[in-house]
Structures are given as C-alpha cells and as structure tokens.
Structure 1
Amino acid sequence: MKHLLIRLGQILVASLALTTVLAQAQDAWPARPIKLLVGFAPGGSSDMVARLIATPLGERLGQPVVVENRAGAGGNIAADAVAKAASDGYTLVLLPSGHSSNAAMKKNLPFDAVNDFAWISTVTTYPLTLSVRPDSPISSFKDFIDRVKNEPNRYTYTSVGVGTAMHLFGEWLMAESGGAATHVPFRGGTAPMMELLAGRVDVMIDTMTTTAPLFKDKRVRVLATTVPAGQQALPGVPAVADSFAGVVFDSWLGVAATKGTPPAVVERLNRELRAVLDQPAIKQRLIDWGGSPRASTPTEFRNRVEGEIRQLSKIVTERKIEAQ
C-alpha cells in the first residue's frame, strides 16, 4: 500500500510538472517562426493577400510569419497539410471561399472541411468577376450568355481549380442561363490571366483582387461581377444578378489553424490579425484590390463556412452538377 501511494504521488508530481511545462510553452507562444500556407501559386489573389498580412502580423507576434505556397487541388493540398499539422499554432493556412465549394463539390476530401480546423478570422471579402481580353469578340455579359446558349461548349471559362468558387459559380451560371461552356481549370497564380490575354481561353472567372488592377490598367474588360442586383463593384460594370435574380457570390479569404490549437493561441491570433486589418495602409491596399477588409470572430468564421457548404451543396444537387 505504501509503495502504491508513493507511486501515485510520483505520477501526480510528474503530471503537474508536465502541465506547468505545457502552460509555460503556451505562454511563450510564439517561440519560433510561423508558417502561413497558401493553396495557390505565387502571384494570385490568395498569395497577394497572404504576403500583405504576413509581415505586419509577424511584427505584432514577435516572430516572422513565412508564406509558403502549396499549390494544387483547388487549395486542398495546403488545407490538408494544416488539417494534419501539429495543433501548436505554428502552421496556419489562408483559406479561400473555394474551401466551402470544395466541400460541396468533392465526395472524398482527405479532411473534414469544418471540424479539422481552428477558425481564426476572415481577412477580406470581394465579388468574383467575369473578364475578357480587350480585343475579345464578346462585347458584353449579355453577348456572352447569348453565345453560350447558341453555341454550346464552343466558349471556355477559367477557374483556379476543380471545385473552387470560380468553377462552381461558372457551373451555376450555365445552369441558370441554359447555356454551356467548357471549364478550364488552372492551379492558380497568373496562369488564367496569361492564357486569357494570349487568346487561348475566352472568359476568366477570378476574384476582384486579381481583376481590379488589370481593369484599371485596361488589360481586361470586365463583363460582370457577382455583387447583388443594382450594385456596381466597378464603374459601368453590371451585376450578374441584374440578369439572373439571386445569382450572387461573396468570396472571401480567411486564416485558420489546426483543430485543437490552444484557445489562448486562437484568441491571440484573432486579436493580432484584427489589429493588422485595422491598419490604414492594409485597409487601403485591400480596397485598392477590390475587396473589403473584414475581420470576424472565430465563431462567425466557422458559421460562415458551415452555412456556405449547406448552400453550395444544395446548388450542386439542384443544378445536377456532377460532384468530383
């Protein structure tokens, strides 16, 4: 009995010591650089926003935040890496709204799109755009719809990957219009823009953050955006919803960590990210790129993702879009 009590005492002391060490380690977070994964190639909208926030976020945390591109599978390679990372707050991911459409479109994701993540905060929201090269024979959004209805599958549209928001929106638009166009997926970055300008694809569906500078420099013509009916995200550019009621899409980017990340780390990341997004220079850059700075609580972010997955899954089912 005496030996048992001694053994139990040793276990209790060891347990208390471990708890103290873990608490001290958590208090010391971050003690080394933090990785911010991006699921697309350098030069695209996700990469631009990640690099915009990484430096000031690292300055506030006292450790560098290093952007690492893990392109492919519509952003799922980066998301999967974070879902399977240690729950220590040292591996983050900048998720796009395509995370929700991936969950709606793909039957066998290697992770749970909601429950395998610790939600930190949204960063920015913005509409999608439909653009053509300046000398395109497609003269307007109405002209594009007429063409895809009269000449099914002759015209092409891009996305940054199968199952991404751009892809799903393109399918939704074809279903609403009764037309048909061929989807051409890329791995992100500048590839869709380069192929559009080279004349190898007809329409680029991309984020406002990618398109706004090109529109300003007159390198593309924007046919329409996905803002609500009656609104103009760009001067003289109509909304898709002006022609098809309710066809509205609000894209976003947001930071997440791995499920099980300590609540104190999640709270710290949320607080510091909010402070970064409140900086005038950061706000203005996001606005210049066609977005709106949009911080959230972790709960608001999670609820947003859950709601979108339900909504987009319904669209996939109702429009008979084939899940991948």
Structure 2
Amino acid sequence: MSGVQAGAPIAAKGKRLLNEKLRNKYFKLFFVNRLFWAIMRYLLLIGLAFLILYPLLVKLSNSFMSAQDLIDGTVRFVPRQATWFNYETVFKHTSFLKSLSNTFLISFMSGALQMLVCTMVGYGLARFNFKGKGIVFTLVVLTILIPPQTYMISLYMKFSFFDIFGLMSAISGGSIRLMDSMWPMAILSIIGFGFKNGLYILIMRQYFKGIPKELEEAAYVDGSGLFRTFARIILPISFSMMITIFIFSFAWQWTDSFYSSMFFSQLKLLSSSLLMGFEGLMLEGNTLGLKPGQPLTATLTNTMSLLIITPLIILYLFAQKYLVEGIEHSGIVG
C-alpha cells in the first residue's frame, strides 16, 4: 500500500508535466499560426499597394525628367537632371486651367444635385409604401444594369432639340439647344437619371432601411411633420453617407469621358483635354522639338494625367473619415 501511495504523487506530477508540455506546444503552434497569417496578410497588402502605387510613382518620376534623362538607359526612377519643363509645357500649351475650372463646376454641381436627389429618393423607397413602388425600384435597378451607350443617341437628340411636351415650340416657335452648357447634366441629376444615379439611390435606400423607425415615430408623436422630421433627424444622421455619395459622384464626373464628349463638344474639360490637348502641341513640334512617338510626348501625357488626379487625391485626404464611415454604413462591403 505504501508503494501505491508513493506512486500516486509521481503519477499526478507526471500528468501535470505532460499537460503543461501539451499546453506549451499548443500555444507555440497557435502563435506560429497567427504569425504566419499575419505575415501573409501584410505581404498581400504590400503587394496590392505596390500594384496601385507603382504606376503613379513612375509617372511622378517621369514628369520631372528632362529629355536627356528619358533617352538615357541608365536612368530609371530618379531623374539625373530634374526639371519643371513638363509641367510648364502643360500649362503653356494646353487650356488646363480653363478645363480645370469647368470640370470643377460641372462635377460640384452634379455631385451636390445627385446627393440631394438620391437621398430623397432613397428615403422614399426605404420608408414609404405607395402604388408603383416596385416599378420605380425596378427602373432604378435597370439604370444600373443597362449601359448608357444604348440610349446615347436619344439623350443627344433630346438635348440638341430640347422641348417639354411641345411647350417650348408653342412659346418660342422652336426647340432649344442645350448642348455645351451645364443644363444637360443638371437636368439628368435632378430627374435621377445622371451618371451612376441608380447606384447612389440603391446605396441610400439600403442605408435608410438600417435606421430604426422608432426615431421617426417618436418625432411624429411629438408633433413633427414629415419634412421637418426628414430635415431635423434623418439628414443629420445621414451626413457621412451623403458625403460618400457626393465624393463618388464628384470623382466619377471628374474623370467622365462619355457624357462629357456627348454634351460638351466646345466646352473644355479635363477629360477631353487629356485626349485632345496635345494635338495642338504636336502641330507645334518644330517649336518644341516634339514628334509623335517620342518619349517626351508620353511623358507630357503622364504629367497632365497626374495634374488631373491630384485634386481627387486632395479631396480624399480631407474627406477620408466620412468616406470610410459611409462605406461601412452603406452595406456595400462585407
């Protein structure tokens, strides 16, 4: 009996040591596993960042290179003779500043109108039941699915000979031409048919469906009307989402070439300047020493593209907080 009693503590101690050994082994494997996946995540993020930033960094480097650096095979990323020649040429031989102001006005107007209209339409689809609601929602989805090229000719003819149920012809004796003005984009934004409007309405609808109805019901009990409740309660809590819609609309309109080329043949915009601005520069090849296909020609195009996206980068830096909050609350992630 004494031998059995003496062996019991030894067995218990051995079992405890085995458990500690297994526990330490498990913790080591758990730590190694977490470390492995953390490294993989960081490698993936670094790889994605490299794919996104590498072209921009190359464009930025080339924009400061001189003609000698561009034809020098030993120069890769750091210019040997840094110069402002490319930027000076862009400002001097293109209507960049005029195009910048026109693009800003159109993008800001479209972004503000689409933000307001899509907020109201999305709120109506999310909160109210009315006859034809399903048809309206179907039309909103169709504006996302149907490519705008299918109704391009109809839009062009409509705004080339603009009339409202024949009233313009009855009053003035003819239709009105709205091309090369801001009216086409303003009208399309107001009626909910602007660039990407269907997507913005869908995002706002999903956002409002996630807001508790008790907030509005409490306001109605206190005697607040529909419009006052919308203005005092719904809009303030939807501020980040509205800013997100505005940034999306502003950025897409800023780089849009489809509507811009269709409605603005004479009005100078950044998207058209990038495609056409250097045609005049080519004609001045004798002055600048440029010929199509030379490295400096591509470098000037890259320089102008950097100048075009710079305002968008600045806008993102200032509105990053609202953009992230809006995307998290919109339901378009996950």
Q: TM-score range by the shorter chain?
A: under 0.3
Give the TM-score normalised by structure 1. Answer: 0.24
Richer in helix (by share): 2
Give the TM-score normalised by structure 2. Answer: 0.24
Larger Rg: 2
Richer in strand (by share): 1
